[in-house]
Amino acid sequence: MTLEESSRPFRFGLVTTSGTEASKTAWTSYAQRVEQLGFDVLQVADHFGNSTVCTPRLAAAAAVTTTLRLGSYVYDNDFRHPVLLAREAAEIDRLSGGRMELGIGAGWSRSEYEMVGIAFDEGPVRASRYEEAVEIVRRLHQGESLDWAGEHYRLNGCELLVEPVQQPIPLVLGGGGSRMTRLGARWADIVAFVPKSLPGGGLDPAEFSRSAFDHKISVLEAALEQRSTKPPERAALVFGLHRSSDEIPLEDWTSREVASTSPYYLVGDSARVVDEILARRDRWGISHWTFWEEDLDAAAPIVEQLRGR
């Protein structure tokens, strides 16, 4: 890990799956509040089981904010064609004056695939399709007229025709399993670490441990040796922010014992959490932390102390 990575200024995101209330007024007021509290990016999840739809939510937030960045966390690659996704992201970037951060993932929840009748292919197939899509999106955002004859996609003289403000739009790619982490090392502007998914869908509870996270970092750093451009920002999703380990639900993503020291959880009062975030940047280079919407109020004082530091 370089000095730049261990001292990169902190950024903070907030990801929403419910979007508070359904009305336009409630959503836009919420986006403005997130901006006023000092969060750097408002992110919307992309799941068929959510009461929000990612693209229109981001476009609406763009219209009522000025500095808040806007991100997908993350678009499921199997739910839309990469050319459509590239165009939608470019349009949001234009509408926001260059504030889009495009998060894409390979998909992990079998139940939502089954709900809408999309085949939940084996992990290597979804990963291969995702790898193709990521390259297509990035090359279109770089202004290429693209001919593509891959295993999963075919393009003939395809052009974006929607010019983004940012050249290119930052890509947020997940660092779950080793294959995804290596892909992030190649293409991502932000590698967003999450526990890897299980072959049958869902997230692996053992992946929440510190040792599993150490392994992810070692995979990333080995892969970055082949990268000639600026290293990506390192990000992590906070699955739980709790004042004590006793508050961690027993039926959570992993066991309470693992969660209490997990890199994906923050436990303690604000002062302890601030110290822990600083320590995790020293150890792993994590400078971008994303909180769930239910932790907005608890996270706000942490953001106030550490943002940009």
pLDDT digit string, tens, across residues 262-305:
999 999 999 999 999 999 999 999 999 999 999 999 999 999 99
Burial 63-87 (b: 16+ CB within 10 A, else e): eebeebbbbbbbbbbbbeebbebbb
22 pLDDT more than 70? no
Is residue 256 over pLDDT 80? yes
Lowest mean pLDDT among 5-19, 35-49, 124-138, 182-196: 5-19
Q: What ranges in 65-199 are assigned the alpha helix state H?
A: 82-95, 110-116, 123-141, 178-187
pLDDT score of 199 more than 70 = yes
Q: How far apart are CA 159 and CA 187, in angstroms?
A: 20
114-118, 156-160, 202-206, 262-266: the lowest-pLDDT one: 202-206
For residue 292, count CB atoms less than 10 angstroms from its CB and return exposed for 0-12, middle for 13-18, buried for 19 or more. Answer: middle
pLDDT in tens, 129-155: 999 999 999 999 999 999 999 999 999
- Residue 98 pLDDT greater than 70, yes or no: yes
- Distance CA(34)–CA(52), nearest Å, equals 17
Mean pLDDT throughout 69-95?
96
Q: If you average pLDDT over residues 107-115, what whole number do you get?
A: 91
Rounded to an integer, the average pLDDT of 157-183 is 94
Predicted confidence at residue 174, as pLDDT, reads 85
Question: Would you state the pLDDT for residue 197?
Answer: 85
Per the CB < 8 A criterion, the answer to whether 10 and 68 are in contact is no
Helix (H, G, I), strand (E, B) or coil at 289: strand
| CATH homologous superfamily of 3-306 | Luciferase-like domain (3.20.20.30)
Domains in the chain: boundaries:
3-306
pLDDT of residue 20 exceeding 80, the answer is no
Average pLDDT, stretch 193-222? 92
Mean pLDDT, the chain, as a whole number? 93
pLDDT computed for residue 203 by the predictor: 85
CA distances from 108 to 112, 120, 194 (A): 9, 9, 11
Percent of the chain clearing pLDDT 90 (strictly above)? 85
